[in-house]
Amino acid sequence: MPLDLHVFRTLSDNAGALLHDPATGACAAVDVPDAGQVMAAAKAKGWTISEIFVTHAHADHTQGVAELKRATGATVCGPADAADSAPLDRIVGEGDVVFLGGDGFEIWHTPGHSEGHLSFVSRSAKLALVGDVVFVMGCGRVQPGRMAAMWTSLSRLMMLPGDIRLLGGHDYTLSNARFAAAMEPANAALTARLAQAEAAKASGRFWALTTVAEEAATNPFFRAGEGALGAAVGLVGASAGDVFAALREAKNRF
């Protein structure tokens, strides 16, 4: 049976997420921005949290972990650099695998936004928990001096099959769509997706889930190798990595 996925808003724009295995009843919270909101979401679904997956150490992703662990007894796994902010039972890193029911999640080290950032990738569940590396039509801010690392992390995720779902850590969708459209105004798929983002914002719909294929068609950071994006930042003929860095700097100022 496929994993159930419930994504919801927590804090102002963070993604709260619960994964539930209907065969075993196991349930994982993905990061914990606010313990009370995550527990309320689990109660509403009738699920009992047994695991906590931490993608990275930033406070808005870890500040509720200790409270949730005390309330549920959940087992916590995450990167070594999150140990100061979250009570980790298992430190995981590149090459490890964590399971929820029968689905295994490969642990990928995806630095750039934070040094220890991890992505949890399950080909069987067709789902990658990408934290603040990828957002809908965007990507996370980059640590000083770590543009090359971020580009490597993005490039690796871009190579996943198109039907893999990507769950990001925030809903910045409308601002990302506006920037993307400014960089590539002739992209019809992007124009349509911008309209969807405007409608989602107007209706209050939370949007943090996408697919590799959708991002390949509309995310300027995934599309840094396209000539139109190089031209948008004045780097015609430059490497995709250099175009990515220029796009990310442009987004910082947008």
User: pLDDT in tens for each of the 254 residues of the chain?
Assistant: 799 999 999 999 999 999 999 999 999 999 999 999 999 999 999 999 999 999 999 999 999 999 999 999 999 999 999 999 999 999 999 999 999 999 999 999 999 999 999 999 999 999 999 999 999 999 999 999 999 999 999 999 999 999 999 999 999 999 999 999 999 999 999 999 999 999 999 999 999 999 999 999 999 999 999 999 999 999 999 999 999 999 999 999 99
* 3-class DSSP assignment, residue 86: coil
User: What is the rounded radius of gyration, in angstroms, for the C-alpha atoms of the chain?
Assistant: 18
- CA atoms within 13 Å, Cβ hemisphere of 128: 30
CA distance 204 to 69: 30
CA distance 243 to 235: 7
CA nearest to 190, candidates 222, 167, 158: 222
Q: Report pTM.
A: 0.97
* 3-class DSSP assignment, residue 187: coil
